[in-house]
Amino acid sequence: QQQVKQSPQSLIVQKGGISIINCAYENTAFDYFPWYQQFPGKGPALLIAIRPDVSEKKEGRFTISFNKSAKQFSLHIMDSQPGDSATYFCAAQGGGYQKVTFGIGTKLQVIP
């Protein structure tokens, strides 16, 4: 059972365009929603995160939009750059032991 559904699995965007990755969750006990970025040969690293009491969080070119009633959230990358090419994982966290449930990942390629 996939508790965090992520789409698309792959995405190609032209330089300067907007990259959008969507996620949906089922478990209403989740109370923290991070996004991780992974470059080839590296482990994932935290990119940006949001709590469900706000509908949007922006950090530079990266924005999370959060819809609590629909149980959906998305990552927008504005003015996408080739250096943004990576795999992005949405995730959800809640309950004990700081366990995190990850989506399947989106491989983003930004072409010049």
Interface contacts to other proteins, rule CB under 8 A = 6, 9, 32, 34, 36, 41-46, 49, 89, 97-105
- Choose between 41 and 60: whose C-beta lies nearer to other proteins: 41
Q: How far is the CB of 57 from other proteins (least distance, A)?
A: 13
Q: How far is the CB of 9 from other proteins (least distance, A)?
A: 7
Residue 24 has, within 13 A of its CA and on its CB side, a CA count of 7
- Choose between 61 and 107: whose C-beta lies nearer to other proteins: 107
- Choose between 6 and 80: whose C-beta lies nearer to other proteins: 6
Q: How far is the CB of 16 from other proteins (least distance, A)?
A: 28
Alpha-carbon distance of 7 to 86, in angstroms, equals 15
- Choose between 77 and 90: whose C-beta lies nearer to other proteins: 90
Q: How far is the CB of 15 from other proteins (least distance, A)?
A: 25
Alpha-carbon distance of 75 to 7, in angstroms, equals 11
Residue 92: closest CA among 7, 4, 1, 5: 4
Which residues 6+ apart lie within 8 Å of 43 measured at CB?
A: none
- The residues with which 65 forms a beta bridge, in sequence order, are 56, 74
